[in-house]
Every structure is written in C-alpha cells, then in structure tokens.
C-alpha cells in the first residue's frame, strides 16, 4: 500500500505561480500565504531568501505537497547544488523552503522569470512592494557581480 505524505512548502519565487506549479507538481495544492519575518528577498539571477533584520519579511505562498512533488521541485531547484532546504516553524506547521547554497552576489533576474513571479504574487494576492524592492536592490548591486567568482566544481 502506497502512503502519500503531504506537508507544506513555502514558495517565494517562480513557484508562487499557480500555472507553473500545476505543471511541475500536479498534486500540489495552494493553501494560503504566510509572512516569513526576519528574512529578505534577494535576486541572484533567480529568487533567494536570506536572513535579515527582524523588521524585514518575505511573503510566501504555502503549498501542500507530496513526496513526488518534492522530488520534482528538487530537480527544478537544482537541489542540493544550487539550492538547499531549510525548515521553518510557522503557525501552519513545519514549512520547507529552498535557500541558495551560494549567497555571494546580487543580480537581476531575466524578464520572463520575473514576470512568472509577478503572476504568482497576483495568484496568492500578495502585495508586490517587497518584490519591487528586491528588484530595485538587484539592479543597484549588479556591479558587484564582477567581483564575485563562482567556486570551482
């Protein structure tokens, strides 16, 4: 007998987009939104979150996912090389999020990727002010990319 385990995943980037998630994880169910306090949204070509001051926060879309969904997300997120997993306790229970392994640089995303995230903000009825702030920050810090060198594989 197959037992399907469901648990919560917190999306803050392209996985907020309900159409994209229905393609990646057909069994995922959108649950609600959640404000992850003490973290900031950053763009490193793709979306990332990092610990920040207690006044900062990142809106998340919470999804109920299965083990199969997680496997699909692992492939999409480049786990464990590009992103790793972190578990956070929320009022909704334990939530898994992906966090980039290397957090050395900030650079803007491409317009198609950003557009997908913007649709996700609309899907979850999130205020896009923090998304705009992260984008502005990424453009103002993109010159730092020239000083950053990726680790050797």
Decide if 87 is inside a domain.
Answer: yes
Which residues span the domain enclosing 81? 6-147
Decide if 153 is inside a domain.
Answer: no
Domain count across the chain:
1
Decide if 126 is inside a domain.
Answer: yes
CATH label of the domain that carries residue 112? 3.10.490.10
Decide if 1 is inside a domain.
Answer: no
List, as one string, the DSSP characters of the chain. Answer: -PPPPEEEEEE-SGGG-HHHHHHH-TT-EEEEEEEEETEEEEEBSSEEEEE--TT-EEEEEEEEEEHHHHHHHHHHHTTTTSEEEEEEEETTEEEEEEEES-----BPPPHHHHHHHHHHHHHTT--THHHHHHHHHHHHTGGGGGG--PPP-
Q: Indicate the pTM of the whole model.
A: 0.88
- The rounded average pLDDT for each run of 10 residues, N- to C-terminus, in the chain (153 residues) is 72 98 97 97 97 97 96 97 96 96 93 97 97 95 54 45
């Amino acid at each position: 007998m197959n037992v399907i385990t469901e648990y919560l995943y917190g999306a803050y980037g392209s996985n907020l987009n309900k159409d994209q998630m229905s393609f990646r994880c057909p069994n995922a169910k959108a649950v609600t939104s959640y404000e992850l306090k003490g973290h900031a949204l950053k763009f490193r070509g793709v979306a990332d979150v990092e610990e920040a001051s207690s006044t900062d926060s990142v809106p998340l879309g919470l999804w109920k996912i299965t083990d199969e969904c997680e496997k699909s997300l692992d492939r999409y997120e480049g786990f464990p090389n590009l992103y790793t997993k972190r578990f956070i306790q929320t009022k909704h229970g334990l939530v898994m999020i992906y966090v980039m392994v290397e957090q050395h640089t900030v650079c803007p995303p491409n317009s198609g990727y950003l557009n997908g995230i913007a649709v996700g903000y609309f899907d979850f009825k999130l205020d896009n002010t923090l998304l705009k702030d992260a984008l502005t920050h990424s453009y103002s810090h993109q010159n730092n990319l020239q000083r950053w060198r990726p680790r050797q594989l």
